[in-house]
Structure 1
Amino acid sequence: MPNIVLFSGSSHHDLSQRVADRLGLELGKVVTKKFSNQETSVEIGESVRGEDVYIIQSGCGEINDNLMELLIMINACKIASSSRVTAVIPCFPYARQDKKDKKGSVERWSRAPISAKLVANMLSVAGADHIITMDLHASQIQLNPSTRGKRFFLLLASLVKLLHLFCFALELPKLPFSVKAYGLFPLYLLAFRVTSIADRLNVEFALIHKERKKANEVDRMVLVGDVKDRVAILVDDMADTCGTICHAADKLMSAGATKVYAILTHGIFSGPALSRINNASFEAVVVTNTIPQEEKMKHCPKIQFIDISMILAEAIRRTHNGESVSYLFSHVPL
């Protein structure tokens, strides 16, 4: 592919290299470092004039530092006369801070920021022309702005549906179970996504409705559906401290499920997450590598990961060649 340059940020170099290998490209030369006062410095080591630039940086690890690094890299390429800059962000940072919380007695009194919108605006101001991300936590982040900077940008390739198709279809032999005869028991917020999966696989599904009093703490959980003598497969977009999915697993087992598996997009696994998974009734927890998982897998043998580099590589290839990206919503790249 001519006139294309692929750069990797510091957050997930392994995924960037996998994408580059699938595209038959070498990662562009870039040096990132910090000054003594912890300011981020970026040096682009090759010409990007007139080039179609793609920068891969996931929202994980030292999130604030990695986000700032991404913004600087975008701006550096933009002022170096690149024709287009696309930020490839497998796990979008601050995606959970997408609305005002009811911190006051009346919602409109809340002084909580909408941080996901702020990040979107920062990416636009830095010079990003396109954004490729995966399985956004909130659908409103995809709104098409009528005026630039006043609403969330349009995400050209939100791969929500493709991700689930990838987990069930492309990597089916690698999963520790067969999904064809099992029921799907998703968390409540993903109901509209899992109904599509259930239809494709011709299986039944149930719902788990959760209520929170505060972040990372589930107050109440209600199961809607019959799981007795069935194998349950929990589907969710993100797992952080894993209190929700572990509580859900216990709920399913107490309701008569024979086994419980989990399929997650973004495995953050912070705080007590790994110990909770080890002590929970999961047979396996399958995640993608939008976030590095190697170290976590060493401490939690139940965690398995599925590579999504082929999805990102095909999205980059199609975006660069001007081909339809919506093709990916119903077709699995090989």
Structure 2
Amino acid sequence: MKLVAGNSNPPLAEAVAAYLNMPLTKASIRRFSDEEVFVEIHENVRGEDVFVIQSTSAPANDNLMELLITIDALRRASARRITAVIPYFGYARQDRKPGPRTPISAKLVANLITTAGAHRVLTIDLHAGQIQGFFDIPTDNLFGAPVMSADITQRFGKENLMVVSPDVGGVVRARALAKRLNNAPLAIVDKRRERPGESEVMNIIGDVTDRFCILVDDIVDSAGTLCNAAAALKAKGAKEVVAYVSHGVLSGGAVARVGSSQLAELVITDSIMATEAVRVSQRIRRLTIAPLIAEAVHRIAEETSVSSLFD
């Protein structure tokens, strides 16, 4: 087995390698003067089971090209099997046609990864579960809920918990987390989005009075939805509001928005490498998913069950 790391999230790749007690494969991923990506693998990978760890986070296009070219280099080096380990799958929000003459970019990216030579994909908390069907190769979609529920139980287990979905589309995810928290009650934020990147909270479905609310979502980008939801929950009598999100995209002024919001804390995973603003923020805390990814990698290499990690 070999582990190859791209440039998108070296700390996570190193943590996965440390958990597996094995070194990262020596490789060079660099740019020519015109920004073309060049990849060179410095170790023999012929006949090896290779795992490429690379999130397609910002800069999304650069990181995606790194992933594709690395896979191609490994395929041409006669690797036996190549698994694309993509902790954060970019373009996942473009999973359908929201209007006429628009692309389904998630399907296009899935085709690119398959065509490049990947034999299987390992990812975490896809924006929409049906994206697994966009791939014509085996795809394992891990869930961050076990990591989150363990942290919630440790830190807030004695509180009067209520899990809250920030929109109707996230109810399944919120219900799954609530089930792990001893079947905690569930509330839903009903919102209307006037334009992309902006949201207006309309109503809270459920009684949140004196409840310790856990907002749960898969991606936080501008943080407008979470901040508006937190304000609405506090206005309805919530005792405290904490958000748990799998992927901290946190673009633009999102970190500042979180810092001035009603959120007591925003907890994200390290699927995306943290910016300096995220690292120094007093309101944002990170959980590592390295053990989860490492265990899945080990089980894939050993041809044992991955689904038991969901239990």
TM-score using structure 2 length = 0.95
Please tell me the residue identity of whatever aligns with 2:71. I
1:129 aligned partner = 119
2:109 aligned partner = 119
2:136 aligned partner = 153
Shift of 1:293: 2.2
| Superposition map of 1:159-178 within 5 A | 159-160=142-143, 163-169=144-150, 172-173=153-154, 175=155, 177-178=156-157
Q: How many residues align?
A: 309
Rounded Cα–Cα distance in structure 2 between residues aligned with 1:236 and 1:171: 14
2:15 aligned partner = 18
1:98 aligns to 2:95 (yes or no): yes
Name whichever of 191-200 and 10-19 sits farther off.
191-200
Deviations 1:91-126 (A, max 9, x none): 001011111112xxxxxxx11000010000000000
Please tell me the residue identity of whatever aligns with 2:6. G
Please tell me the residue identity of whatever aligns with 2:107. K
Shift of 1:298: 3.8
Shift of 1:185: 1.2
Rounded Cα–Cα distance in structure 2 between residues aligned with 1:14 and 1:137: 23
2:46 aligned partner = 49
Is the contact between residue 277 and residue 300 of structure 1 (CA under 8 Å) also seen in structure 2?
no
Shift of 1:276: 0.7
Identity %: 41
Shift of 1:297: 3.1
- Classify the secondary structure of the residue corresponding to 1:185: strand
Rounded Cα–Cα distance in structure 1 between residues aligned with 2:289 and 2:31: 30
1:106 aligned partner = none
- What are structure 1's unaligned runs of at least 5 residues? 103-109, 144-150
Please tell me the residue identity of whatever aligns with 2:176. S
Root-mean-square deviation (Å): 1.5
Deviations 1:238-297 (A, max 9, x none): 100100000000110111111110000001111110111011011111110001226233
- What are structure 2's unaligned runs of at least 5 residues? none
2:254 aligned partner = 273
Is the contact between residue 199 and residue 225 of structure 2 (CA under 8 Å) also seen in structure 1?
yes
1:313 aligned partner = 294
Rounded Cα–Cα distance in structure 1 between residues aligned with 2:303 and 2:253: 44
